[in-house]
Amino acid sequence: MALKISDECIACDACRDECPNDAIEENDPIYLIDTDRCTECVGHYDEPQCIAVCPVDCIKSNPDAVESIEELKFKFSQLQLEE
């Protein structure tokens, strides 16, 4: 399942630099996660790096973008082909 940034976001920019898929972008007033690019760091790390660095704990699972581990792995492999 892709992740989602809630309204508690303080736009600190910590998460954007940590995302290996460039799935996080600035928006006004809070940042957004592109569900087409978010793999929850599957293929890169054991846990989502954006969650690990968020100082206000505003990044959660997105109930509107539920994906299995297999789907996240497939998305990761497709993103690797783009590079």
Considering all CA atoms of the chain, what is the largest pairwise distance in Å, rounded to the nearest integer? 34
pTM as predicted? 0.90
Beta-bridge partner residues of 3: 61
Split into its structural domains, the chain has a count of: 1
- Domain boundaries, position 71: 3-82
Q: What is the pLDDT of residues 40-61, one digit of tens each?
A: 999 999 999 999 999 999 999 9
**CATH code, domain with 13:** 3.30.70.20
Q: What is the pLDDT of residues 57-78, one digit of tens each?
A: 999 999 999 999 999 999 999 9
54, 78, 70: which is closest to 3 by C-alpha?
54
